[in-house]
Amino acid sequence: MSGSLTQEGDVDLSGSVSLALPGQAAAVRGGLTVVEDSLFSSMLQIDGTLDCNSTSDFQGNANFQAKVTFNGAQVGNVTSVTSATYTIVATDYFIAANSTSNAITITLPAASSHSGRVLKIKDIGGNADSNNITIDGNSSETIDGAASIVLESPHAGVTLLCNGTSWFVL
């Protein structure tokens, strides 16, 4: 295909489909769905501007090699934690830790596979002074050079950034 593409409804790219529009505009006014191909997995490559005037839902990894501009809210997954131990998983972004009933230890994932990742952890119950919330590095990994950090004041919170080797408090 050459030239520009304007689609006024939904587009479903299932299986092996290639749409090449070098130097041309592509606009989809509806939904764009890329479904996993059984041989190669799914991939949508855009060498230019992708303008989504509605909701965009990326399931899996979305890799952006340039600036990403949000003209609306940025939304991350919120995970509520009340158990004594919790290990961060791939979908976690904001950890709402409520230590009303017990102290909580949260273990970070291995830094080597999370370079650039940001995590936010907050004492939402206001009880971290009596039931501390401890954040542990994975194995011997560190947070600002320490094996762990402790939230120990009511409503304390922390934002962490990973560089692929360690975690850092922002």
All structural domains of the chain, each given as residue ranges with its CATH number in brackets, are 1-55 (no CATH), 78-169 (2.60.120.640)
Mean of all residue pLDDT scores within the chain:
81
**For residue 3, is pLDDT > 60?**
no
Predicted pLDDT at 160 = 98
**For residue 167, is pLDDT > 50?**
yes
Q: Which helix H or strand E contains 12, and what residues bound it?
A: strand 11-13
> What are residue 23's phi and psi, to 5 degrees?
70, 10
- Token pair listed for 38: 């059984």
CA nearest to 158, candidates 147, 150, 148, 169:
169
**Alpha carbon separation from 71 to 51, 116, 147 (Å, rounded):** 11, 22, 38
What sign does the dihedral 112-113-118-119 (CA atoms) show?
negative
Q: What is the pLDDT of residues 76-135, one digit of tens each?
A: 899 999 999 999 999 999 999 999 999 999 999 999 999 999 999 999 999 999 999 999
Q: Which residue has the higher pLDDT, 44 or 115?
A: 115
Beta-carbon count within 10 A of 50 CB: 13
pTM value is: 0.68
Predicted pLDDT at 113 = 93
